[in-house]
Structure 1
Amino acid sequence: MRVRHLNAGTMCPIGRRRVNGTGSIFQRARMVCHCLLIETHDGLVLVDTGIGLDDIANPPRLGPKWVRQTTPRLDPAETAVRQVEALGYSRGEVRHLLLTHLDRDHAGGIPDFPNAKVHVHRREYDMAVARTAPAPKGRYITDQWKHRPQWAFYGEGGEDWFGFRGVRALGDREPDILIIPLPGLGHCGIAVRTKQKWLLHAGDAYFFHGQMHASPRMPLVLGMFQRRADMDRAMRIQNQERLRTLKANHGNAVTVFNSHDPVDYERCRCGQHGDVSLTSSP
């Protein structure tokens, strides 16, 4: 199973030291939208979609406050669809979109793959799409799925995976791709088994690589943003502890990374773990 790491959206908020933990508070920080492109027996699978072409064509739909605070680069070449095409594939070859959750910087590329099945946690769908459960005000951009894609839903059940519960995302066709519920902030992680080890895309379950250390640390502004985004703070903290334990006890078998940390992204993209086939994506 071939896996590529893509950055489908760079964000450059002011205050690098308080966001990235290095540099000056007067410099621009760097955050990414870390996605995976997976070659499977059932076509291409994209884990998260980042910022999409429609977002770039109409930035106000992302929300003026969000755009002002995050200062996204809005480069069409960074979109997942343009990177897929640059690799020699067509957008139609992407058959499945596995989303950690439906926030604007994770779901923006959904309409760029209109024929792909969109896989999400059921509770996330109920909040963002069906609106049958209460959702934080202004969290979702419903235009990102106004074309009414085909949805697939997942719950809390499944088989044991390193102490977590994992549901086979594509059934028995691809038993080595699992949906891992991680409630609290990001609703799901996506686990993918390569020849060497498992990869766990933990979505927004944590924001900063230092949170996975034995003595967790977090830059000030990033920590404030994480707390504002909390849906269940106690559950988010509990899942972060579970992820730290996973990394400490099974780091040789599982590589854990999140959606927005450039350190996590570069470690994976540059092959420091030696477990994936890589592309020179932005």
Structure 2
Amino acid sequence: MRIHHLNCGTACPLGGALFDGRSVGPLGHIVCHCLLIETQAHGLVLVDTGYGLRDVDHPHAVPGKRITIPWRLMLNIRLRERDTALFQIEALGFRAEDVRHIILTHLDFDHAGGLEDFPEATVHVMQREYDDATRPQTGFVSRHRWRARQFDDVVSWRRYGVRGEPWFGFDAVRDLDGLPPEILLVPLPGHTWGHAGVAIRRPDGRWLLHAGDAYFYRGEMRRAHRHCTPGFRAYQRLMEVDRTNRLSNQHRLRTLSIEQAGAVTVACAHDAVELERCQAGMPL
């Protein structure tokens, strides 16, 4: 098993270091950290997709915009073909049909935009996330976060309820249909009710947990006291469905990242420094 760390979406919101903690100019740098997993018997497995080719080509086509203009302006999203998962996978010498499975942390527009670039893949997601994303939307945030045009052509879904098998003190969904036992879904509600992390056991026995949007900033993990930039703190509060669950799961992840540092690496979806260190094979 080999894991590639990809950036499948870039945003440059006004605020600079107030978002990413390091920019010196007025614009921040936010990524969409996705994983490409090479398996021996199950083909390629993609964890989240970021933005896709249709987002790049027609982000605001009507009816049913793939990305809403207010969110694109707020985040200053840079839609580029070279950032898409398909472009990067082809650059590695693979084809779209080699991606046999896609596992989603959740169905927000910046995580699911590339689903339709891989029409032969089976898409794995929590049942609650699928239900919430496909029902009629009424709330302001839900109307912007879940964009049906990004996934209405998906034909092969696998949906999972919450099961109680333990994984480092967390409930975990094991035995994902058609996937190796080294890959698990770890429910982490709060950002959305159906939000989940994806845990992968690497050949050396250590685990990598892609925590999705359970946290946004590197200072929220691997230290006793949480530190988050004002921009990311505000965005997390804007997008949460339940603060108590979000903060509770974030605290549990922080404890895991400290107490099991030798066994588990925890990474989120949007911190550029974490992505760079993962790509370089450096500890977080």
Shorter chain as denominator, the TM-score bin is over 0.9
Question: 2:32–2:50: 8 Å Cα contact kept in structure 1?
Answer: yes
Counterpart in 1 of 2:22? 22
Deviates more, 1:55-64 or 1:80-89: 55-64
Unaligned residue ranges in structure 2 (runs of 5+): none
Within 5 A, what are the aligned runs for 1:148-227? 148-168=154-174, 170-171=176-177, 174-186=180-192, 187-196=195-204, 197-212=206-221, 213-227=223-237
Change in CA separation of 1:146 and 1:23 when aligned onto 2, cut-off 3 Å: closer
Structure-1-length-normalised TM-score: 0.92
Count, aligned residues = 273
Q: 1:88 to 1:23 in 2, by over 3 A?
A: closer
Q: Confirm or deny: 8 A CA contact 1:168 1:178 kept in the other structure.
A: yes
Q: Is the 8 A contact 2:23 2:29 kept in 1?
A: no
Indicate yes or no: 2:110 matched with 1:100: no
Q: 1:81 to 1:56 in 2, by over 3 A?
A: same
Question: CA contact under 8 A between 2:8 and 2:32: conserved in structure 1?
Answer: yes
Change (3 A) 1:161 1:74: same
Choose the corresponding residue for 1:246, options 224, 248, 256: 256
Please state how far the C-alpha of 1:173 moved relative to its aligned partner: 5.1
Q: Match of 1:59, SS?
A: coil
Q: 1:73 to 1:201 in 2, by over 3 A?
A: same
Q: How does 1:1-282 map to 2 (within 5 A)?
A: 1-24=1-24, 26-40=25-39, 41-60=41-60, 61=65, 62-131=67-136, 136-168=142-174, 170-171=176-177, 174-186=180-192, 187-196=195-204, 197-212=206-221, 213-273=223-283
Matched letter for residue 165 of structure 1:
D
14-23 or 235-244: which moved more?
A: 14-23
- Please tell me the residue identity of whatever aligns with 1:269: Q
- How far residue 10 of structure 1 moved from its aligned partner, in angstroms, is 1.0
Distance 2:256 2:133 in 1: 30
1:68 alignment partner, SS class: helix
Equivalent residues of 2:115, 2:151 under 8 A apart:
yes
Letter in 1 for 2:199: A
Identity of aligned residues (%): 47
- Alpha-carbon contact 1:191-1:198 (below 8 Å) kept: yes
CA RMSD, aligned part only?
A: 1.9
8 Å contact from structure 2 (residues 116, 154) kept in 1 = no
Relative to structure 1, the CA distance from residue 30 to residue 245 in structure 2 (aligned partners, 3 Å threshold; closer, same or farther) is same
Helix, strand or coil: the match of 2:11? coil
What is the rounded CA distance, in whole Å, between the counterparts of 1:158 and 1:242 in structure 2?
16
Stretches of 4+ moved more than 4 A in 1? 130-135
